[in-house]
Amino acid sequence: MAELPTEISIVTLNCWGLKYISKLRRERLTEIGRQLAIADPQPQIVALQECFCHEDYLTIRRETRYILPYGKFYFAGAFGGGLAILSKWPIEESTMFRYPLNGRPTAFWRGDWYVGKGVACAKIRYGPGPKHIIEVFNTHTHAPYESGPKDSYICHRTSQSWEISKLLRGAAERGHLVLGLGDFNMLPMSLEHQIVTSHAPVRDVWRVLHPDSSVGPAHHHAEKARGRPVPTAEFNILENCATSDGPFNTWRWLPKQQKRLGIGKPEVTVDPSTPDLRGKRLDYIFAGAGDVVANGGGWVVQRTAVGMMMRHPELGCSLSDHFAVEATLKFVSLKQQHNNNNNNNNSPFSDTHQTIKPTTALLNDANNHLIQTGTYLQEPSSQGTSIAEADANTDTDDNLSYTKQLLAFNSPPPRLPPSGYDQILSLIHKYVARERSQLKWRAYHFFAWLGVSIGCLVAVWFVPRNFVAFILMLVSTLGLVGGTLDGLMSLLFFRSELRALKEYEFEILTAKALAEGKTPVIQQAGTKEAVDAGKQW
C-alpha cells in the first residue's frame, strides 16, 4: 500500500435521486459524478444520500472510477435506503444498520418507513497498521414534516441521533478515525445535534472553524434569540453552511422562475447580497481524531466549504436540492506540534523535553492555556470567519489551531445536561401515549369492520335486487381489507414500536443516571417496580 495520507478530503451530498419523483434525475446525477471526478481538492471519501437507483450509482461510479475505485451501494427497505459510499481506499467491511424507530407505514406518501432508513457503515483501510482504519457512517435521518409542538416525528429523530452516536462512539473506542456523514435533517445545536456531539467523541467540523455560525434559518426562534441581522445568500454559504433552501439553489425557486432555465436559455444569476430568510444547514460532517496515542498524532480540521453549487452546464439547474458539505482533515503528529510550539515562548510546551511523549499528563499541562481559547471550545466570536479568512491564516496560526483541536480531544466531550435527558424522556412518553392510543383504536377498527362485513354478507341473502347485493359485497370487501390492515398494524407495527421505545427509554434513563453521577439501577425481575413498569407499556 502507498505511503500514509497526511490529508483526507471528504464530501457528503444529498443527491435528490428519487425515482419517478425527482426532476431531471439522470442528467443531474451524471453531472454530479463528473463534478466529483474533477473536484479540487480531489475527494477521497464521498457519502451520498437519496441515491435510490442502482443505475445512478453505477453512473457515478463510472465517472469517478479513476479517483474513487471502491464503493458500496446499500440495499435497505422496500425501495432502497438511498445510501452509498465511495472511497479511494479499499472497503474491508460494510453493514447496513436500520433504525429501530423510523416513521410509520400509514404515512405511505412520505416514504421514510418504506425506504428503511438507517446508517450505512464502512470500514476503510488507508494504511497497514492496526489503527489505520476509517470507519464511515453515512445516514439520512427522518425528515421533519412537521414543526413545533405538532412535530410527531421529533421522537424518531432524537432516537436516530442516539443510535448513530452509539455507532460513532463504538468506532472511536476501537481507536479508528470516525466520520459521521449525511443529511441529518436537524439544525445546529438542536437537541438532536447535542445528542451526537455529547455522546460520541466527534466534532461538527463546520463549527470547529465557524463556531459563530447560525443555529437555524433567520426566522427560527433560536436564531432570532441571537439578535443577528438577516444574512445574505453569500454569507449563509460562507459562514453558515446553508446547504438547503437558499436562493442559490434553483430547485427552491418559484415555478415561474424555474421556467427561465433550460437548454439554450441564458444563465440566470443570483445576487450574492440577496437576503436569505430560509437557508439552513441540514447536512453534516462529524469527525474524530483517531487514536492519538497509538498513531503519535491525530486528525484535525484544516478546511470546510459548501460544495456542488455549480449548475448543470446545459439545463442550467442546480445539481440537487441540497448543496454538498466538504471538509479536509489533516494529520498532525504530536512531535511536530511539540517542535513548532517550542519556538513560541508563550507555548505551554516550551518547557518540555525535546522528545515528546503523547501522554495524558503532557496534554493536561497545556489545557489551562489552550483549551480555554481552543477553536472547538471557545466562545462564539462577534464576527464570523469566512472560508477565505480561514485559508489566509499563517502557518504559525494553523499550527496553534491544530494543537487546540488535539487538546480539545483530550478533554471529555460536553455532556448532555440532565434537563436534556428529561426533554428526551418527555418526548418518549408523549409519543408512547400516542402509539398506545393508535394501537387501541386500530384494533377497534378491525373488529368493527369484521362485524360490518359479516352483517353485509348475511344481508346479501335477503335483499331483493342484485345491485344492492353487489354494493353490500363491495362495502364488505373494502371495509374488511381496511380493517385487516389496521388490525395488522395494531398487532405487529405498534407493538413493535412500543418495545423499541421501551428500549430507548431505558438507555436514556441509564445515561441520565451516569450524567448525574449515580449508579444506574436495573430492575430485578419479579419486583413490584418491574411489574409496574411493565403495566405502563
**Three-class SS string for 372-415?**
HHCCCCCCCCCCCCCHHHHHCCCHHHHHHHHHHHHHHHHCCCCC
> What per-residue confidence (pLDDT) applies to 413?
67
The pLDDT of residue 109 is 77
Q: What is the pLDDT of residue 386?
A: 39
Q: Tell me which H or E stretch contains 484.
A: helix 466-488
Residue with cell 437557508: 279
Residue 62 phi/psi, 5-degree rounding, is: -65, -40
Q: How far apart are CA 491 and CA 514, in angstroms?
A: 35
Measured distance CA(111)–CA(330) in Å, rounded: 39
The stretches in the chain having pLDDT less than 50 are 344-394, 527, 530-531
Cell numbers placing 373: 481559547
pLDDT of residue 380: 34
Q: Indicate which residues carry an active-site annotation.
A: 322
The amino acid present at 438, given as its one-letter code, is Q
For residue 263, give the DSSP letter.
T
Q: State the average pLDDT for the chain.
A: 86
Q: Is the dihedral of CA 5, 9, 10, 11 positive or negative?
A: negative
For 185-228, the DSSP string reads: ---TTSHHHHHHHHHSS-EEHHHHH-TT--SS-TTSHHHHHTTP
Neighbour-count burial for 498-533, b at 16+ CB within 10 Å, e otherwise: eeebbebbeebbebbeeeeeeeeeeeeeeeeeeeee
What was the pLDDT predicted at 379?
32
User: Residue 422 is placed in which grid cell?
Assistant: 428529561
Cell of 521: 439501577
pLDDT for res 363: 44
Helix (H, G, I), strand (E, B) or coil at 43: coil
Cell of 54: 442502482
> What is the pLDDT, as a whole number, of residue 412?
67
Is 256 exposed, middle or buried (CB count within 10 Å of its CB: 0-12, 13-18, 19+)? exposed
C-beta neighbour count of 3 within 10 angstroms: 6
Closest by CA to 427, choosing from 238, 208, 191, 108, is 191
C-alpha cell at 413: 466531550
